[in-house]
Structure 1
């Protein structure tokens, strides 16, 4: 769910104009963090951030330092402010160096223009052959010096561009790591909550169905106790890969915590969600895992699943709790089964 910035130079220039206009319109302090917030706002690909900023703009509130920090951490950095701050400081260093180099090059051209003006004045006041020769030598020499300076500037700008590209990759890596479970490579719970929040907002606006599956591996503690946590980790990675084969398209999969996984199914009604859950349960129940060194079978691998469909007006927590309640009921009824949540409407 993470994004880079694939815009063409023309699109980036257009976005930059919109960003500067937005910052000027709302008196936003022009620092790198606020620039990142406004750039994401202009791209309109992070609905939760846009809603938060729209709240500030609608009430005429100023985006102060504390609010800027909070918005950046919640909607862009995903908790990696340490890495982001280091990268931001490095970016500022590069930009300062580029600006100084451009100013220096500009000064060289300004001095050359001033010199030409002085030469012209001398010729008008006292034209003679010796002065003409002297000025000719100077006019030829100075552009060569500027050319050397410009080449040096070009080299430095090229180096700065390469540094910025490396920094961009570092920022993307930091953002990706902040959103990913390191064991399975799936989304982590925090990133999934952001996806779920956005999906609920869309479901409310479009009045489309939205279902949530919660999955828990049955008797997973026995695997850890019997074979050790390293084997348990391998089982979790295996399940992550298996689930990724089933979850397709716009559906979103995450490791919710421990041996629990969550699957979000947009535009999916209850019967479709139950069909997905049963497919997953059957695939897991048919798995036969062996220890690599001894070939020993680990035994039957099963999972319990809870299914809930979103109800207009309920919060993220309420929706998640209903799916979790259905999961608990599936385990209470004997495990290795799918249970749908039927809590009556109030």
Structure 2
């Protein structure tokens, strides 16, 4: 394992170690092709690309750490203000007790009476100021907590989105499949895994900026041919996935075929200008969820269908009917 990390120039960080251990063990079925592709590149970018595609989508540490720091600072301020308010209240109680003793006397010295009134007024004012400050700080803390909750919510949503295309990412697919298999176990559920044919050749020929534009063309085609209930995701590189809830394998196969045709009809002129290729195609593997199997097993069967589609000549859909 360490030798594999060293050859790819990836540090032996626990996150990378776990990822590659799963890869070597065969756990990362849907991701194995992409991980293998990244690991074979010798341009020194494996660490960054593995982190961006397989680790970062599951992490929200920076936002959470900022939120914790703000809350700790706010709680420290509130603690100080509560102590001040408590001290002011205690001083006021002592002043009242002292005044009560003087008022019970048969005669009251006017000078002492004036001093008592001034001291009681000052103590009362101190208590009021402390309470107003504490209430204002509590209101600020409430507003900051609401803003922090919103920021964490946005971060959670962002962590489930692919930054290039704006659609769901690998973590979004995992979350959707996990939710659907638990919340509606009796309903049909399919997943389609999509791979852009000959994308590496296109990327090497025209460069990454053009490759990114091609990925956007594919994204638009998939979204245009998907139903409102379908979840379209980019799971890494030129790999996409579509979660089809409430869909049988037969229906999913037809929908996937429509997506394949939509991609083939995509307009590449914006991405390639006059150098338009003969056509852009995708290969698709489709599998239907079987009760009791894990999400990884479902994805692995769809991945095997994708492999068969590519081995059979590409630009086709292969459904796992076995």
TM category (shorter chain) comes to 0.7 to 0.9
Q: 1:267 Cα deviation (Å)?
A: 1.5
1:122 aligns with 2:122: no
Instruction: Provide the residue aligned with 2:166 in structure 1.
Output: 185
**Whole-Å separation in 1 of the counterparts to 2:231 and 2:271:** 31
Name the residue aligned to 1:61: none
The separation in 2 between residues aligned to 1:164 and 1:191, in whole angstroms, is: 26
Please name the residue that 1:320 is paired with: 299
Counterpart of 1:220 in structure 2 is 199
Post-superposition Cα deviations, 1:234-273, rounded to whole Å, max 9, x if no partner, equal: 1112322332344444432221222111111122112321
Mapped partners of 1:181, 1:84: distance in 2: 20
CA distance in 2, matches of 1:254, 1:157: 42
8 Å CA contact 1:288, 1:299 repeated in 2: no
Change in 2 beyond 3 A, CA 1:98/1:217: same
Structure 2 equivalent of residue 304 of structure 1: 283
Root-mean-square deviation (CA, aligned residues, Å) is 2.6
Unaligned runs of 5+ in 1: 1-76
Counterpart contact for 1:218–1:301, Cα < 8 Å: yes
Cα 1:126–1:163 shift into 2, 3 Å: farther
Contact 2:191 2:242 in 1 (8 A): yes
1:205-262: per-residue Cα shift (whole Å, max 9, x none)?
xx11111111111221232122111100111123223323444444322212221111
> Is 1:288 aligned to residue 267 of structure 2?
yes
Matches within 5 A, 1:1-346: 78-125=58-105, 127-128=107-108, 130=110, 131-204=112-185, 207-291=186-270, 294-343=273-322
Structure showing greater radius of gyration is 2
Farther-moved stretch of structure 1 (220-229 vs 102-111): 102-111
Distance 1:127 1:157, change over 3 A: farther
- Compared CA separation, residues 316 and 142, structure 1 to 2 (3 A): same
TM-score calculated relative to the size of structure 2: 0.72
* CA deviations over 1:300-337 (Å, ceiling 9, x no partner): 12212111111112222211111111122222222222
Seen in structure 2, the aligned counterparts of structure 1 residues 242 and 94 have a Cα distance that, compared at 3 Å, is farther
Query: Are the aligned partners of 2:222 and 2:263 in contact in 1 as well (CA < 8 Å)?
Result: no
Structure 2: segments with no counterpart, 5+ residues: 1-56
Mapped partners of 2:272, 2:239: distance in 1:
27
Question: Cα gap change, 1:122/1:210 in structure 2, threshold over 3 Å: closer, same or farther?
Answer: same
Tell me, in whole angstroms, the C-alpha distance in 2 between the residues paired with 1:226 and 1:279. 28
- Asked if the contact 1:218–1:302 (Cα under 8 Å) also holds between the matched residues in 2, the reply is yes
Query: Taking structure 1 as reference, are residues 98 and 241 closer, same or farther at Cα in structure 2, changes over 3 Å only?
Result: farther
